[in-house]
Amino acid sequence: MDSVDPLEQERLIFIITLPLSSVIILANLVIIVGISCNRQLHNTPNYFFLSLLVADLCTGIALPFIPWMGLTRLLNFEACLFMHIFPNFLFLSFLFNLVMVHYERYLCIISPLHYSQFWVHRCFPAALLAVWMPPLLFASLPAFGWNNWNNWSSESYHNLSSDTNVSSIRDGSSNCSSGTCQEEKHCFYKQVFPRAYIYMEVYGLLIPAIMCIIGMTGRVLWITRKQLQDICKLHRAVERQEASGHEQQLNVRYAKCVAAVSLTFLLCWVPYIVYLHVSVALFQFKNDNNSSLNIILSCTGIGSMAVIPVILGLANRQYTEPIRKLLRKLRDRWTDGRNLEEATP
């Protein structure tokens, strides 16, 4: 797809991100309230998951602004840095929290008797800092001087003049007085993020984090399968019979678990992985990232990955029990009110 009109770009971003962002924010609020209201869930594993939910909530709030990072706007240096660094920090912190939650549950599976002795439980504040501080430091590198703001020459802007968005901004800013527009430039993502920074983030942080999550998930499924086989062997040795209905139920549950994990990976991770590689290709071979294809991929890719904590949270009935109790009370009151109205002559 070619670049489209700026108004069409804004409308496309709004149409795609508004439903995704609303679902992510509301679902995370429901799960956060559920964990906060249930004292039995106040333990270290759920604190890690609560940190993930907060990061996911922030990602849902920042989701409409992430595709805007690929658009060109007229901003000063500080505003341009903030509009690019802050959404990037929120997304990186979400990814780090997601890795930490998978790592904590991975330790629980591979060493159920000793997992409380690992550093993530003994040094919970340090583990919490490990998922928030490195993303903040890495995202802030452009603010410490690793950017192309001063190196972005007028010739580079001339190369972007064919873009409708840039041309429209120039036309709109042509009436500005010299004193007003001297401090503002065309804020473009290539000014904030150098090529080496983009490659380091994608292939040094994002892809390795995704591979770690996939590796830990595969390892957990493998261990679960081995434990299931051991349970079946023990059951046969005690009962001295062939596979029973209980064993078949265990196998069916495991098959459903594998299918759910595979489906989650296909629906949530594949769009984001495709978006990463397409973005790098556009960054390397094109002068802009304003195509409607890249906007759609960025919205759906990041939005689909942000749904993962929502799926994990809604799958646990303990997290949603307070909300379900509230809904049942409201339903009962509404039913009693209807019955009272029908009984009244």
Tokens standing for residue 104: 């904590």
Tokens standing for residue 288: 């802009």
The overall average pLDDT reported for the chain is 76
Taking only the tens place, the pLDDT of each residue in 37-91 is: 888 888 888 899 899 999 999 988 888 887 777 677 777 878 888 888 898 899 8
Tokens standing for residue 225: 């399968």
Beta bridge partners of 75: 185
Backbone region of residue 46 per phi and psi (left: phi > 0; alpha: psi in -120 to 50; beta: other values): alpha
Is the pLDDT score of 304 beyond 70? yes
- Torsion angles phi and psi, residue 243, rounded to 5: -55, 125
Confidence of residue 225 (pLDDT cuts 50, 70, 90): confident
CB atoms within 10 A of CB 295: 25
Tokens standing for residue 20: 């995704």
Backbone region of residue 49 per phi and psi (left: phi > 0; alpha: psi in -120 to 50; beta: other values): alpha
Which residues, in sequence order, are CB contacts of 21 under 8 Å at separation 6+?
Answer: 60, 61, 63, 64, 303
Tokens standing for residue 285: 């071979």
Nearest to 72 by CA among 173, 1, 178: 173
Contact between residue 24 and residue 63 where contact means Cβ atoms under 8 Å apart: yes
Most confident of 64-73, 134-143, 167-176, 244-253: 134-143
pLDDT score of 65: 80
Report the distance separating Cα 284 and Cα 275, nearest Å: 14
3-state secondary structure of 138: helix
Confidence of residue 265 (pLDDT cuts 50, 70, 90): confident
| pTM for this predicted structure | 0.78
Report the distance separating Cα 199 and Cα 208, nearest Å: 12
Domains and CATH numbers, the chain: 6-148+184-342 (1.20.1070.10)
Contact between residue 13 and residue 295 where contact means Cβ atoms under 8 Å apart: yes
Report the distance separating Cα 301 and Cα 282, nearest Å: 16
Least confident interval from 28-42, 156-170, 274-288: 156-170
Report the distance separating Cα 203 and Cα 280, nearest Å: 10
Taking only the tens place, the pLDDT of each residue in 151-208 is: 654 444 444 444 444 434 444 444 444 444 445 567 777 778 888 888 898 889 988 9
How many alpha carbons lie under 13 Å from residue 105 in its C-beta half-sphere?
A: 19
Average pLDDT score over residue span 245-261: 67
3-state secondary structure of 291: strand
DSSP state, residue 147 = S
pLDDT score of 161: 45
pLDDT top residue among 57 and 327: 57
pLDDT score of 178: 43
pLDDT top residue among 99 and 77: 99
